Structure 1
């Protein structure tokens, strides 16, 4: 049996890696490819993004790249999934901790702001790519997981109407943070303070004890 696990064929096979690396060396190669793809997006945007450039930047042959990724859509989808996974892991980690509600909300905002502004140009291009790719099912799953994590946190603190409150807080924070990213803001601390003020105002308006 091959050390590389082939992915099952799906209706959206062009959005998935052809095989999943199981060996350390092949996993490292895939990581190099994805970092090369990220850097090209940052420098050239979607218009200048293609598999030949990624292979060249990664120092691999185009054939080696195609062993894992059938095209640029699969590379973009992999970058989007990695970014989403990192954000969800950060949110779930914060929500699993104990502490004052405002302290935890601030930690959530910091995680979201860091996610957006740590590599702002990359995130901006990935947000546009999300609109082009059929990832609706995965997007819905992510939103549900984020909603559940924040809702459980609010319930722990006795927040009334926790379901609606979680939806509102996520929408409020996401709107401000995404808008800041699209506008090219780079001051993470200032953005975090603004979002926290908005969230605090929402909480103090009667949606928390």
Structure 2
């Protein structure tokens, strides 16, 4: 799988905006998490894939139509997989651009049966200036704090995942926002409490790598309190 650079993300998303305009679809709003978000922020040079979250099944259907409908000289993405269930939460699909190795993972509201794209996350998301003119394919980046939380529960112990978390910490994070968002998620889905030890483990790895960061220590203390 080819690395997806910041420039490639920007160019491909501009093409999807043009394609959405030509198809005259209803406005579509996507939220970037993971490496694609970090690449657009300039926090990493490239990513293996681009993770997108949409808010509901209707938006999922619009995006599916946009990706798969052929138009001359505009990208058609090949669906590689789709979740077996078909309802309005946690649906997912994976797509690949057959020419450019551009890989998209799409989720509806919930990512990998873990965290939800909450109202708070939506309110904190911002449109990068590169896509400020988009009207049909609107791109928003969830906040650095929310990316930190997503990566803390979905990373696979890979070196690059830890590097991503370190890059986020070094930008300066609002750890109260992270704590409040986690509490919001737990209040709506008690099953997510099983993720707390995983987040503690990530925070421990981070402190070993970069030393004492006051906000990280505060976060770890809170996590240990709620883990019982």
Q: TM-score, normalised by structure 2?
A: 0.29
Rg larger for: 1
Q: Which has more strand, going by share of residues?
A: 2
